[in-house]
Chains A and B, each alone.
Chain A
Amino acid sequence: MDAVVRRIYCVDTSSFAYCQRSFGQRSSRLTFYASVWDLLDRLADEERLLAPHLVHIEITKSNDEIGRWAQAHSAVFRPRGEHAARVVEILKEPGQRLVDPTAPRGAEEADPWVIALAAGISAAPPTLFDPRRIGIVVSEEARVGGIADICRRRGVEHLDFTEMLTTEGLSFSSAAAT
């Protein structure tokens, strides 16, 4: 990793849900599962894993492993409405399908907020004590006009959950061997 750049992961609900489905049985203590949760803990402690408030609402609806993890790591989740003006700009993107216009209250998509968070992080100027930071969107959705597509159009780096794991040095083969 570049010594003067901090990579900050901005994680969407879809990736947390993927994590729950794939690695949710933490109690089984399988080596690889444990290492995934340890990595999430470490990224959270280093303030390199963030998510908008809406993601917190979505993943704490059920009392599962990811919901409990979110409750225990509340600092990961940014305040309500942060970057709202940036979200308004993102939603002007032609052909965006981040927001379903029929969605009722309570069914808010976190997607534009995740992109806005990552863009906001990348746009912030470095300070004497804080090196340059890059916001990276982590999500699992790949449809046209969706989160990955809009990230590409707006020059925001995008990974899926597995890519984030491998970028952070956790590979399926090495983890299985440990």
Chain B
Amino acid sequence: MAELIPVAPTVLVWARKSGLATVAEAAERTGQPDETILDWEAGRAQPTYSQLERLADEYGVSVNVLLLSTTPRIPQPPPDFRSPSGGQEPMSRIARRELRRARHLQALLGEVHVFPSPALPAIPPGQDAAEAVRGALGVTIAEQLAWKSPERAFAAWRAALGRLGILVLQYRLPDSGLQGLSLPAINGGPPVVFVNQGDWINARMFTLLHELGHHVLAHEGGICDPWRLGPGLSGGSVEGRCNRLAGAVLVPGEHLRAQPETSQLAAEPDDAEVIRLLGSLGNRYRVSGQVVWYRIHDLGLVSDARFAALWPQLRPPRKKKRPIVEDEERKGIPRWKLASSRYGPELLGGLLTALDRGALEPTRVLRALNLGTGDLDRLQSAGPR
């Protein structure tokens, strides 16, 4: 019979709740009835190591943490804005794990101080938030219009957030209803923005700036699917305000008004022609036609009725094919290459600097970034700094 592990019941409860998992999910993962999970959590029974591993899989947490005798002092997950009722929405175990990794990297950076200090713009009452944010990001319209591809645009926006001291992470999640999340700065660690790499790149760009909105406007994090509740989301809600900010930063109002297509499509009765014009403008700003239409409505250039009538015809950004297996399990993709796109040059450069200074042990970096022993040398050779 397998050995039973004397785990602390309070730690099991903490791990489940901080992983935003339910008793039913834990039961399904371990192949046990709900009552058994509750018995473990009440100290009436103990799991085997194999069962603990399955719990760790489900909660996204290191199995070692489940062996601690006391509950760790880690902030709770950010509020989930995906549900209109404020309830908890489903989340994959990969998403749970990556949420914990974001916290882990944040804590690591708080320890070694090799990341730019946060420089989030303050928005005084009455000031145009988008203007202030765009100024802080330091991206000019001329630069934006010169970007040759959506990939270049995403990299530029990401780098701009990095200059504000925001850690930008991405990972290909199987969750179609989780586009991004944000974590506020804590204990010297930077604020975090996470985007779902499984989304089309234009959607990721919008999410990037939506999550920046959480930091700038709401000063707290969030788990988000920006368009989940539709474009008619109240402008006063946190998600509505973040959407408006993201749209206004990506497509500045004054510049949009000055485009010949803008006045043309405001008066154009033919839907197909409007969609064509939106596509043209979207390509110019490197955003989707949906975002341009949203902005045109936000600027009061079309009526509510006209806006609502066309919205369903605008195809939402396509999703990439969802992963069947995790990228690490797919052959032929070197981990260090995946690391570059997931973690970005600021983080990788910072951690390599910390290694050079002897401020971090190599194994801590390898674990945090899920790399192998030879990958650090390859990253150093590739020169993310």
List residues 54-93 of chain A with CB under 8 A from any CB of chain B. 58-64, 66-67, 80-81, 84-85, 87-88, 91-92
Interface size class of B (residues with CB under 8 A): 35 or more
Task: Report B-chain residues with C-beta under 8 Å of the C-beta of A81.
Answer: 3, 5, 48-50, 53
Q: Which of A43-51, A107-115, A160-168 lies at the interface with chain B?
A: A107-115
- Given A61-B335, A141-B363, the answer on whether A103 and B370 have CB atoms closer than 8 Å is no
Contact of B373 among A12, A16, A105 (CB under 8 A): A16
Give, as a whole number of angstroms, the nearest-CB distance from A66 to chain B: 6
Task: Report B-chain residues with C-beta under 8 Å of the C-beta of A98.
Answer: 64
- The answer to whether B62 touches A80, judged by C-beta atoms less than 8 angstroms apart, is no
Q: B48-70 interface mask toward A, CB cutoff 8 Å, 1 = contact, 0 = none? A: 11101100110111111101110
Task: State the interface size on chain A (CB cutoff 8 A).
Answer: 41
Q: B1-45 interface mask toward A, CB cutoff 8 Å, 1 = contact, 0 = none? A: 001011100000000000000000000000000000000000000
Apart from A12-B363, A21-B362, A141-B361: 6 A-B pairs, beta carbons within 8 A: A58-B373, A66-B373, A80-B53, A99-B65, A104-B61, A105-B60
Give, as a whole number of angstroms, the nearest-CB distance from B76 to chain A: 13
Q: How far is the CA of A106 from the CA of B67 in the complex (A)?
A: 15
6 A-B pairs in the complex with CB atoms less than 8 angstroms apart: A24-B374, A61-B375, A62-B375, A99-B62, A104-B100, A105-B56
- Given A81-B49, A102-B100, A108-B63, the answer on whether A67 and B374 have CB atoms closer than 8 Å is yes
Residues of B within 8 A of A (CB): 3, 5-7, 48-50, 52-53, 56-57, 59-65, 67-69, 72-74, 93, 97-98, 100-101, 103-104, 107, 335, 361-364, 366-368, 370-375, 377
- The answer to whether B361 touches A140, judged by C-beta atoms less than 8 angstroms apart, is yes
- The answer to whether A101 touches B68, judged by C-beta atoms less than 8 angstroms apart, is yes
Q: How far is the CA of A58 from the CA of B97 in the complex (A)?
A: 17
- Given A104-B100, A105-B57, A106-B370, the answer on whether A99 and B363 have CB atoms closer than 8 Å is no
Task: Report A-chain residues with C-beta under 8 Å of the C-beta of B52.
Answer: 84
Q: Which residue of A lies closest to B49 (CB)?
A: A81
Q: Which residue of A lies closest to B68 (CB)?
A: A91
Task: Report A-chain residues with C-beta under 8 Å of the C-beta of B6.
Answer: 85, 88
Q: How far is the CA of A61 from the CA of B366 in the complex (A)?
A: 10
